[in-house]
Chains A and B, each alone.
Chain A
């Protein structure tokens, strides 16, 4: 789709809000929303004379995220002030980490089109979120500092991705990991996961990287993918026309479908970092790291392998269930309680995913318990109901949350396998359809299927298809 002579180079900076109860340096709540400036205190609004103290959970969560992505954990880490003037930051600096981040040198494995690839992580550091600016039609800009001081980790990748598909796979994988290790809700619509994209292009075979543009603050994976596609095409076009790429910050305009240059930030990049004198260094012992490592749950990569080996799932299906811990849990419980986990997987992939949008899939908004799906599959497996009746039962489970066994019982859905009972019905059906019977006798194979269909209709889909087939063959050959 792009120019065949060019290669795209992508690196990502992912900001992830941690799910602590209180902010990073004060006791204000991290709860989303709230009336403007009601989740604030003198510390998070940067009043003079206040003393920030770091939340211990922030350090623990950052280390969890680091261990889950194969990072080294810094024995000695410190916090620095990043200075710039922008009213979303009441102190005129953001507390972040400069040269000694809490985690460094990690990796995330991704799979794109059946191929595996490792994306290296440069670092993960701790920082505080900024406030929200409300750009009203009036004269001023209004500042709401409720988000100010909400803890973040910034995960920085190496420029290892070569397509927007790889970038998307990386983002999805990272998100899944962060959710499984329970350090963040990763709610895109609340901005708790967002990324900056660094993208450049170069001629294939060229060693040096091209000049890159940074696309800021993408809070949707699909917008990020669109922005990357557009930006790569734009840069290639500029170069092909003999122009030069300028290193700059751009933003994605979703309505117009283009990236737009933001005011030149050359000077703003002079952040004059220095160690924050109010905050003491963070020293992490090997024992502490081991302790946190031991508390990690099974990670998505290992689960995926297990789903494939234990339940016979395809790589694709396994990945789909790892969209969130809730979804994975639903699948696992349903699979464990059923006679056929593969069939359970098919029901989820087919019926359940058809009825849910992305957000609902992730939250596993399913109106019945996983054990009920196991029961439904078991009813079909042991021949108590047919597959087509199974669909009806499923529909009712979905609409009312009723136990499938109860639905089958109450609606009299039990599959009819009794030969005597079916023989009576078959004789009736044959008597009512002399033309079809004649067609069949004169060699029209299709006529037979039509008779089976009539049988199913006469039994409201409850006849056992295998028994019906055998029975019809027998009667018709008499």
Chain B
């Protein structure tokens, strides 16, 4: 399957990646190879196979509704690159 340069740029943008010209070239080729490889699945007859929602055959793993003590805030914020007033501080976002 052919992958366009626009598709690579779109995916990179969604992942917040800034790619260089050289990387865009390389990933276009790489991605094409990966998708082509995966395309082999289309050759299989899957009429009889149930869609897989999860690879592990376990279901209904539930927790009781019980409130437990939360985490120490200082510990929680310990690795934050930036913090202020008990909050994680992030670059300004404007709606």
Contact = CB atoms under 8 A, between A and B. Distances in A.
Nearest to A38: B73
A141 B67 contact: no
Interface stretch (A22-30, A156-164, A186-194, A199-207): A22-30
Contacts of A26: 68
A143 interface: yes
Interface stretch (B19-27, B29-37, B40-48, B78-86): B78-86
Contacts of A53: 61-63
Interface in A38-63: 38-42, 45, 53-59
Interface in B70-95: 70-71, 73, 76-77, 82, 84-95
A40 B63 contact: no
A275 interface: yes
A41 B71 contact: yes
Interface in A51-99: 53-59, 76, 78, 83, 85-87, 90
A272 B87 contact: no
A58 B62 CA distance: 10
A21 B85 CA distance: 26
A36 interface: yes
Nearest to A41: B71
B66 A262 contact: no
In the A-B complex, list the 3 residue pairs whose CB atoms are closest, starting with the nearest: A27-B68, A142-B87, A56-B62
A267 interface: yes
Contacts of A281: 53-54, 59-60
**Size class of the A contact interface (CB-based, 8 Å):** 35 or more
Contact of B90 (A20, A29, A140, A267): A140
Interface of B: 10, 13-14, 16, 53-56, 58-71, 73, 76-77, 82, 84-95
Interface in A236-261: 251
A40 B70 contact: yes
A214 to B, nearest CB: 14
B70 A39 contact: yes
A22 B70 CA distance: 10
Nearest to B84: A142
B86 A36 contact: yes
A281 B53 CA distance: 7
29 contacts: A20-B65, A21-B66, A22-B67, A25-B63, A29-B67, A35-B86, A36-B87, A37-B88, A38-B73, A40-B76, A41-B70, A42-B71, A45-B76, A55-B62, A55-B63, A56-B65, A57-B65, A59-B62, A83-B14, A90-B88, A135-B93, A135-B94, A139-B92, A141-B93, A142-B90, A277-B54, A277-B55, A280-B59, A280-B61
Given A29-B70, A140-B82, A42 B76 contact: yes
A283 B54 CA distance: 13
A85 B84 contact: no
A139 B67 CA distance: 35
A37 B84 CA distance: 11
A22 B60 contact: no
